[in-house]
Amino acid sequence: MKAIQRVLRYIRILFTAPDLRRKILITMGILVLYRFVAHIPVPGVNRDVIAALVNQGGAASTLVGLIDLISGGTLLNFSVLAMGVYPYITAQIILQLLLPIIPSLQRRMEEDPREGRKWMERWTYYLAVPMAALTAIGQINIFSTFAGGQVIDNFGFGPGQILNSVTIIFSMTAGTMFAIWLGEMISEYGIRNQGLSLIIFAGIISRIPANFASLLQNTTSGWTSVLAIAAIMIVTIFVIVFVQQGRRNVPVMYPGRRMGQRMSMPVKGTLPLMVNMSGMIPLIFAQAILQLPSIVATFFANSATPWIASLSAGIVAFFNPQVGWYWLLYFLMVVGFSFFYTDVLFAQQNYGENLKRIGAQIPGVSRGAPTQRYLTSVLRRITLPGALFLGTIAVLPFLVTLMLPFLSGQSGQAGLFLVSSSGLLIVVGTVRETFFNIDAELKLHGYEESLLVR
């Protein structure tokens, strides 16, 4: 009862503070606008082809589910926002991976981190535009190949098709940039630094009623499935929160400050290292790479050469998500990419030089490069449980169907988990970060009481 009263008091305080109320209302208004625009279809879209592609299962259905998750649930409508913010995320990942490879980019980030971040943001926008155009062409062609029919009528670059095709590509690219702009507006005028996350979050949550209804269509085990999945989701949410909160606090001695003629004593502090620094990026990497062979092989499925057609069919069958080994390989790749992406991110932050610049030191460790090596070794050790956690989240649908056979008939992760296991990771992470941002805003406005007080 006390917890409920605290929640109600917390909500009342949110809408009492004028600045917070304005930010929350702006955020909600932008999300409502995004969901309205998400239902504007691309001209000439063939919905029957999309429905056949989703219902056929296999690699195609899994690929559609992944892109639909990242796009914020707009792909199944094939609206002007069908790509969501996916090209922007891809561009961001590409630039992050290029930093340790190109020395001039790395020096730019190290010499002036603030200007380096601005440069990264600017070029991420530039790169997102061609990525969006190429993604639009790729999505339409690949889905048409998988489904055996054109997703967009009269799409191509033959005689009489160019103007229609260019118009569609421009509209889808503009839709992506519009979604990115909406996310930036949320981060600037609404809840800070949560724009793109909330855009994806809104799309994932919007699919829950339809997925819930699909579970209840089974008259024999509908409610049993709902109760079982609800229990699994509660446990999964608890584990996600527990792991995402995991930190390793490395002790750091900060130098004392000069106060007039006196020098204060050195200050003891900590440097928190996250157990899961990579978020859900390893899941995106692993699934994209596992689906790539099937996508390429599909283009040669109807080859006139028998051995090429046979090889193509074998590759598609080999990378079928319905087989158990696929999930084992998926687990191993997620774990591997977790270590890889964490190393890339941590190397960019360069804590060794930053601590040396301000005169701070880890007790017993020399400043500079030795500090960076020490922190890297600590981070790799604590990344292991985080990587295993991400791998388990990735293969959770397969594990659940093994333990609960009556759920094996549910179609895909989305139908099985209402918001999918990967989507659940996004939802929980977004809710956590949004809650912390709002709680910080409350403290800035002088409200000492918050839900974080135990």
Say which DSSP state 256 is in: P
Q: How many CB atoms lie under 10 A from the CB of residue 180?
A: 22
As a whole number, mean pLDDT of residues 389-414 equals 67
Please check whether residue 368 lies inside any domain of the structure: yes
As a whole number, mean pLDDT of residues 173-188 equals 91
Rounded to the nearest 10 degrees, how much is the dihedral formed by the CA atoms of 50, 54, 57, 59?
70
Q: Which of 187, 206, 225 is the last residue of a domain?
A: 206
pLDDT at 258: 62
**One domain, residues 26 and 175:** yes
pLDDT at 177: 92
- Asked whether residue 201 carries a pLDDT value surpassing 50, the answer given is yes
Please check whether residue 5 lies inside any domain of the structure: no
Residue 129 confidence class, pLDDT cut points 50, 70, 90: very high
Please check whether residue 9 lies inside any domain of the structure: no
**One domain, residues 354 and 436:** yes
**One domain, residues 353 and 442:** yes
Please check whether residue 2 lies inside any domain of the structure: no
**One domain, residues 347 and 314:** yes
Please check whether residue 87 lies inside any domain of the structure: yes
Range of the domain at 222: 210-454
* Domain count across the chain: 2
**One domain, residues 94 and 53:** yes
Average pLDDT over all residues of the chain: 77
- Asked whether residue 397 carries a pLDDT value surpassing 70, the answer given is yes
Q: Which of 133, 164, 143, 148 is CA-nearest to residue 75? A: 143
Higher model confidence: residue 37 or residue 3?
37
* 268 beta partners: 253
Query: Would you say 279 and 359 are in contact if contact means Cβ atoms under 8 Å apart?
Result: no
pLDDT at 30: 92
- The domain spanning residue 75 has which CATH number? 1.10.3370.10
**One domain, residues 92 and 107:** yes
Token digits of residue 450: 């918050």
- Asked whether residue 103 carries a pLDDT value surpassing 70, the answer given is yes
As a whole number, mean pLDDT of residues 113-120 equals 80
- Asked whether residue 221 carries a pLDDT value surpassing 70, the answer given is no
Q: Rounded to two decimals, what is the model's pTM?
A: 0.77
Q: Which of 206, 230, 261 is the last residue of a domain?
A: 206
Residue 449 confidence class, pLDDT cut points 50, 70, 90: low
Please check whether residue 109 lies inside any domain of the structure: yes
**One domain, residues 274 and 196:** no
**One domain, residues 233 and 157:** no
**One domain, residues 214 and 140:** no
**One domain, residues 244 and 382:** yes
Length of the chain: 454
**One domain, residues 42 and 153:** yes
Q: Which of 206, 231, 257 is the last residue of a domain?
A: 206
Residue 453 confidence class, pLDDT cut points 50, 70, 90: very low
Please check whether residue 146 lies inside any domain of the structure: yes
Q: Where on the phi/psi map is residue 264: left (φ > 0), alpha (ψ -120 to 50), or beta?
A: beta
Please check whether residue 6 lies inside any domain of the structure: no
* 271 beta partners: 250
**One domain, residues 366 and 269:** yes
Express as a percent the part of the chain with pLDDT over 70. 77
